[in-house]
Amino acid sequence: MPILSASVGLTRYRVVEEVPDSLIREIPEQLSKFAFQDIDHTSEERSFGWVNFDDMLDDKWSMSPPEKGQYFTFSLRLDTRRIQPAVLKKHYQIALNHEMAEAKKEGKNFISRDRKKEIKEQVTLKLRARSLPIPAVFEVVWNVPENRIFLATTNSKIMDMFEEYFNNTFDLNLEPLTPFFLAMETLGEEAVQKLESLDPTYFVG
C-alpha cells in the first residue's frame, strides 16, 4: 500500500553512518544515476531502480523534485516478467516436437540433453519478449536530519533488494529498526545483555 494511504505496512531503518552534507546535496544526482531502466521493448526478465515518488513513470524527476522539506522521497520500482509454467511447458513441447520431426528427417531418433536445454532457453526468451512486465512500486521516505528511512513494504525479498540497492547508490548501510534495536537505543548499550536474555511472553494459550 502507498505511504499516503489510510493504512500501510512500513519497514523502518536508520542509516548506520553519518551522512555528510556533500552527499545530501548529491542525492538527486545519485537517484538519477541509479534510476529505473524500462524493459518493455526487451526480453529482460527483471529491472529495478529509483523513480519519482509522485509518478512511477517519471525516472527523470521532471514532474517534481525528490526534496520535500527535510525529507527526500522516491520509490523503488520493480518490473518483472512472469511466464506461467503451463504456458512454458506447452510451447516447449511444441518446439521439441518440431525438433524431433526435423531430426527424423536426418535419420535421428533422439534429441541431446544440451539441445533440449538450448531449446527451452530459446522458448523462454521468445515468451518473455511477448509478455509485458508487471510493475510494482515501493515508496521511500528519507528523514535526513533524524537519519531515518521508511520503506512501504514488509516483504523480506524487497527489503533485501532495497538495502543492497540503497548501499550501491549512496554507499551507505541501513539497519532495520527492530523492537530490539529500538529498546537498545532507548535504554543504552549497557542494556544489551539484559535484552538478549529476555524470553517472549505468549498471551494466547
d(CA 65, CA 71): 11
Percentage, residues of the chain above pLDDT 90: 60
In the chain, the amino acid numbered 67 is E
Residue 1 in this model has a pLDDT that exceeds 60: no
Closest CA relative to residue 81, chosen from 24, 38, 50, 52: 38
The residue extents of the domains of the chain are 11-81+137-187, 85-130
pLDDT of res. 195 = 60
Model confidence over 91-114: pLDDT tens digits?
999 999 898 888 888 888 888 899
Residue 181 in this model has a pLDDT that exceeds 80: no
Which region among 27-31, 45-49, 180-184 has the lowest average model confidence (pLDDT)? 180-184
Query: From residue 41, how far is each of 32, 46, 131 by CA, in Å?
Result: 21, 12, 10
How much is the mean pLDDT over the chain?
A: 89
pLDDT of res. 41 = 87
pLDDT of res. 200 = 67
d(CA 193, CA 196): 5
**Strand residue runs (E) in 60-177:** 67-68, 71-80, 134-143, 148-151, 174-176
Residue 31 in this model has a pLDDT that exceeds 80: yes
pLDDT of res. 13 = 96
Which region among 13-22, 74-83, 107-116 has the lowest average model confidence (pLDDT)? 107-116
pLDDT of res. 107 = 84
Output 86-90 pairs: Cβ under 8 A, ≥24 positions apart. Answer: 87/127, 88/123, 88/124, 88/127
Residue 183 in this model has a pLDDT that exceeds 70: no
Q: Which residues pair with 136 in a beta bridge?
A: 78
pLDDT of res. 196 = 66
Most confident of 59-68, 92-101, 127-136: 59-68
Say if CB 48 and CB 77 are below 8 A apart.
yes
Residue 43 in this model has a pLDDT that exceeds 90: no
Model confidence over 134-160: pLDDT tens digits?
999 999 999 999 999 999 999 999 999
pLDDT of res. 17 = 92
